[in-house]
Structure formats: C-alpha cells, structure tokens
Amino acid sequence: MKTKVWAFFLLFIVSCQGWAAVGCDLNDPDRDVKRLFPSSTGYKTAYQSIEKSGGQALLKEVEALLGDEFQGLYETIDVPYTIYTIYKGSDIIGYIHGINQKGVYGGLQVFLGVDHKGVITRFYYQKLTSKKAALMRENDFAQQFIGLSWEDFKSYLPKTHEGGSEKVKQIKNPNVDDAADFYSTLRAVKKNLILMQVFVFENKERAQ
Amino acid sequence: MNIFQVSSKNLLRRKLRTFFTVFGIMLSTWVLVTLLGFNKGYEQSLSNSIDGMGFQIVLTAKGCPYEAATLMLKGGTGLRYMPEDLVRDVASRPEVLQATAMLMHAEFDPNKGENGGTTVFLGVDPKTYPSMKPYLQFKQGAWFADDAKDEIVLGYEAAELEQREVGDLMILPGSEVEYKVVGILSRTGTQDDGMIYLPLTATQKVFKKEGELTMLGIRLKPSVDQNAFEESLYQLPDVQVVSMAQVKNTIMSLVSSAKAIVMSIAFIAFLIAMFGVLNTVLMSVFERFQEIGILKSMGALPKDIFKMILIETTLLCAIGGLFGIVIAYGFSGLSEAAIRYFLPFAPTGSLIIIDTFIVVFSFISITLIGLIGGIYPAWRASHIRPLDSIRSE
C-alpha cells in the first residue's frame, strides 16, 4: 500500500508539466469570491494574456499607460491573467483580478474587486512577504483604495512615485520604515486597473 | 507477361479505387505505428523521469510517504524526523556509493491567502545533493557556497511565484533574517520546480531541527545486492525504506492498464485495414467476373487466379503500409504535440518513439492482415466457373 502511495505521488510529480508562465489565481475561488462579493450568486472565469489579446503592440500600449517597462524574468508578455466576472442572478455586479508584483522580500499578489464601472470595491493581498506584512494587511490600508478607479491612477508614475489624483496622493504607507513594498503595491494596483481596462472594459465598449 | 505484372496492371486500371484503398490502409498503419510508438515512448519517458530522480533508495521516518504526499498535495504538516546520527551511519556504509541527507520542513505562513498557508522548504547538502540530481541545471546563479550560509536556491516556479532573481532577498515566514537568492533552477517539469532549497545546516538551525533529518537519498555501488541492503535497512528502528525500483514497478503496472486500452485501439486499426481490403478486393472480383471466366477458359488454373488476386492484395497493403509508416514518422512531432495538448499530465522526453522494430512489425502485420482479408476474395475468384461467368451480364 505504501509503495502504491509513493507510486501515485511520484507519477503525479514526474508527470506534471507546467511550462506556461505563472498567473495569479484566487487560492479558493468559491470561497474568495463570496468573501469579496458577499451578494454574488455565481462567477465565470476567463483567462487572458497580453500576447493573445494584442501581442507586442498591446504590450507597448500597456507599458505606456503604466509609465514603466515590464521588468525581470517574470513580468512577460505571456503571463496568463485570470478575470473573475461576478454575477448576482444574471446581472454582472463586478470583477476580480489579481497580478503578481515583485516585492522587497518576495512576490506580492494584489487582487482588486471592482464594480461594473471599474471602481475598486475591494483590495486584497493574497500573498505578501514583508517584515511589516501585518501593517500592510491592515484593513485601514486596504480601505484607502476603495472608491478609486483607473481615472485616479491614470497620471500616477510608478517610476517617480508622483502624480495620480488627490485621492491617490493621500494613500498613506503603513510602513514608515520602508516605502519599497508600498510603491510596489501602487504599481501593482495601477497595472491591475490597466489590464482590467484592456481585458474587460474596452472589450465591453467595443461590443456595445 | 507474368502474374505479378497482370496484378499490377489490374490495380492501375482502377486508379481511384486503388488510391482510396491504399489511403485507407495508410491511415490504419499511421494509427497503428503512432500508437505503438506512443506505448514505447510514454513508458520510456516515464521510466527515465523516475530514474532521473537520482536516488535508488530513499530512507525516511516511518509514516513519511503519506505525510509527504499530504504535505505536497494539501499543505499538511507534522512531518516525522530521523536522528541525524542514524542517517550518517547509513550514509557511511561501504555499500553506499553516494548519499545525501535532506530536511523537509513545512512552515505556516500567515501572509499567504486569507487565513495563511504552508510553505515547504527543503534543506539540502550542497556537497552531495547536486551530484545526485545532475539534471538540475541553473537558469541563473549556482548552488550555495557553504552549508551554513544564509542563501536560498529556488525552483523555477517557486522563483516565479516569489518574483525572485539572483541577488534578491527573501525572508522566511515568521523570521526577519534575510536570505540571499543565489540560484534559480531551470524548469524540469518535476516537483523540483516548486521547491525552495536552503543549506541543510541552516535549515536545521532556523527551524530548530538540529540533529534531525527527514530523508536520506541513496545510490549503491554497482556490485551491491540492493535487496539485501534494503533488508538491512528494515532492521533499523522507526524508518521507512522506499525503493525506487519498487515504485517504478508499481507505476509501470499502472501504466500497463493504459497500454491495454491503446493496444485495443491498435487492434481496431488492424480490423479496419483488413475489412477495407476484403471489401475492395471482393468488389473487384465481382466486377471482373466475366474477365476471370475468360482467363480460366484460356487456360488459367484456379491457383493462378488465386495467386493473382492475392498479389493484388499484397501490393495494396504493402504500398499503403509503407506510406502509413512514412506519414507516422514524418508527423510524429505533430502527433506528440497533440497528445501533450490533450493529456492533462505527460512526462518529459519524447512521447512517441518509432524504432526499427515498430516499423518492421507494423509493415509485416499490416501486410499479413491484408493478406488474410484477401484470402476469401481470392478463393471466390479461383472458383468462378468459366461458362457461368461468360453467360452472365
């Protein structure tokens, strides 16, 4: 019996092939969707990538909107993004989308819940490695993002940490000792909102 | 003009039908060769993947296989440990060619998900581990310089999740000690891709497991009787011996069930070829009813007619079989890509291996099967009575 357990285990691990870039999915979509949108009755999952949606031209467009280049080994054109469309009955009440962002001590997974107009209703770190993680995960910090939208972040520049609407400028870093993860979070939020525009709202406009 | 020439001319007289019959046989052969190649390739890739794990025997604390499986699949905790002295004693036995001690540790990370999650770390000895896992290549950097250093090596997917590159820093859950990422492994398609490696001594220290280990990977000298060595390990208290040979046998016996299904599909390909040939040749015999009668009235013996029809069948099968083999060989890359697309899990390495045996076996068997399909039409043709056939419209 023990040999069989090992056999199944090893068959599983030697067979696993996952050459695609790692995306950013909710750990437990059923539970997380209900938590982020308590009034939801269901959701649909769609997978998008910059490569499939517009290729190199779209990458340039996204980088221009972001005001920063995609960097490093993992922020690549083929990263799959998972968009959760949230329903209440047959009506769409919002979307959930997360992205991976390089932090000081590890990857940040920043999820946003937005309503059908693209206004942030929930901010959620699914993963965060930081010496001050507890501060960053406090509700007060997350609340500062509620009500903001792409329009607020449009003029924010991740490279210089300047710009953005007054509301963006007022977001306070909970970690007074180090701002690196805070700025990474702002970049992640802006990138997340851009990709939501590209994958969801611009598609909707085109469809209309 | 000999019988062979007559048969070839007969086939060329009905080009379209000959083409479609050859095409049908070619498709059957393509399926047959691809399936046989897949059977061989899949088994070999799986076998290589298991052999590539680097250990002949793994020594763990009792109950560990279940815990390790749970840990990897469900994020469970509560691993059991073996005393380091016992492990070192086994590693230093004369039968052992190479051995590497490991400490697996699962640490709860409160900042993972809504309610926290488990992160698994593997403490390895940089002096012995790399040589036992030679397939682990680096995308960036190298193994730790020193067993006790605060350095980390990441599997490719772990690095991707943590967004780490060589030179970046990491902290372990619940700790503020900074570790420097010194190496990122290339993708292997195995569990190593998701692993976070730390130097063994540092792992023992940081997780307060001094003097404890979870696994010992062993490779024996070629002359050593593995069964006798395993028996000696069973005498040790509270340890579990996992032989990769046993595991491999069990996996292969699981795979053999799938092979039986593949072989039954191959058998259907045989039947399609056989009935295709039977149908075509029988139709051809009926169409040439009068012609065969005239041949017999001119002195052709039943055995000549039998031979003529059988040669036609052989030609059809041989040409179709040959084209099928060429197509199967030429499109094996495409077939493999399709299999990989549809299979949820596939081992690394070539999934379709078409060797000389498969080529020769497929050619002979498809020709033989076609011949069997041609016997009845040939028998019917050889028994046509000349007068009856000439009288018929």
Over pLDDT 90: what percentage of chain B?
20
The answer to whether the CB atoms of B111 and A128 lie below 8 A apart is: yes
With bands split at pLDDT 50, 70 and 90, how would you rate the model's confidence at B74? very low
**Residues contacting residue B145 through CB under 8 Å, at least 6 positions apart:** B126, B151, B182
Judged by CB atoms closer than 8 Å, whether chains meet at B113 and A105 is answered as: no
Q: Which of A146-150, B84-88, B304-308, B388-392 has the highest mean pLDDT?
A: A146-150
Q: In this complex, is the C-beta atom of B193 within 8 Å of any C-beta atom belonging to chain A?
A: yes
Give me the residues of B, 229-268, that contact A with CB < 8 A: 240, 242, 246-247, 250-251, 254
Short-list A85, A106, A80, A88, CA closest to A29: A85
Test B163 with A101 for CB contact under 8 angstroms: yes
Note whether B70 and B123 are same-domain residues: yes
> Closest Cα partner for A6 from B217, B357, B54, B250?
B250
Of A10-24, B16-30, B183-197, B314-328, the least confident: A10-24
Question: Which pLDDT belongs to residue B266?
Answer: 80
Do A22 and B251 make contact, defined as CB atoms within 8 angstroms?
A: no
Report how far residue B152's alpha carbon sits from residue B265's, in angstroms, rounded to the nearest whole number. 49
- If asked whether residues B363 and B280 sit together in one domain, one would say yes
Number of domains within chain B:
2
Question: For residue A7, what is the nearest residue in chain B, using CA coordinates?
Answer: B247
Q: Is residue B179 part of a domain?
A: yes
Q: What is the pLDDT of residues A119-158, one digit of tens each?
A: 999 999 999 888 888 899 999 999 999 999 999 999 999 9
CA B265 to chain centre: 18
Q: What per-residue confidence (pLDDT) applies to B132?
A: 86
CA angle, A59 then A63 then A68, to 5°: 145
Mean pLDDT for chain A? 87
**B208 and B255 within one domain:** no
Last residue of a domain, one of B237, B267, B283: B237
Q: What pLDDT does residue B73 have?
A: 46
In a domain, residue B231? The reply is yes
Tokens of B380: 């019917």
- In this complex, do A100 and B46 lie within 8 Å of one another by their Cβ atoms? no
Asked if the structure places residue B258 within a domain, the reply is: yes
B148 & B293 share domain: no
pLDDT tens column, B38-62: 888 888 887 777 766 678 888 888 7
Q: How far lies B123's CA from each of A180, B79, B165, B214, in Å?
A: 30, 14, 20, 10
Mind telling me how many Å the CA of A144 is from chain B's nearest CA? 19
CA distance A183 to A203: 29
Q: What is the DSSP letter of B108?
A: E
What domain range is B286 assigned to? Answer: 3-50+251-391
Nearest to B46 among A2, A14, A105 (CB): A14
Q: B244: left (phi > 0), else alpha (psi -120 to 50), else beta?
A: alpha
> Distance (Å) from the C-alpha of residue A154 to the closest C-alpha of chain B?
25
Interchain CB distance below 8 Å, B347 and A14: yes
- A contacts of B350 (beta carbons < 8 Å): none
CB under 8 Å to A13, separation ≥6 — which residues? B72, B190, B191
Same domain, B212 and B92: yes
Q: Out of B87-96, B138-147, B287-296, which region has the weakest mean confidence (pLDDT)?
A: B287-296
Task: Compare A49 and B349 and report the one with higher pLDDT.
Answer: A49
B71 and B173 co-located in one domain: yes
Q: Where is the domain boundary, B183, B208, B237?
A: B237
Q: Enter the tokens of residue B189.
A: 């398609």
B187 touches chain A (CB under 8 A): yes
Interface mutation vs chain B, best among A33, A73, A128, most B CBs within 10 Å: A73
> CB B340 to CB A128 under 8 A?
no
Which residues in B lie closer than 8 A to residue A19 (C-beta atoms)? 187, 189
> Final residue of a domain: which of B186, B215, B237?
B237
pLDDT of B213-261, one tens digit each? 988 999 888 888 888 898 898 888 888 888 877 777 777 777 777 788 8
Cα-based distances in Å from B124 to A31, B262, B379: 36, 41, 73
Looking at the fold, whether B168 and B272 belong to one and the same domain comes out as no
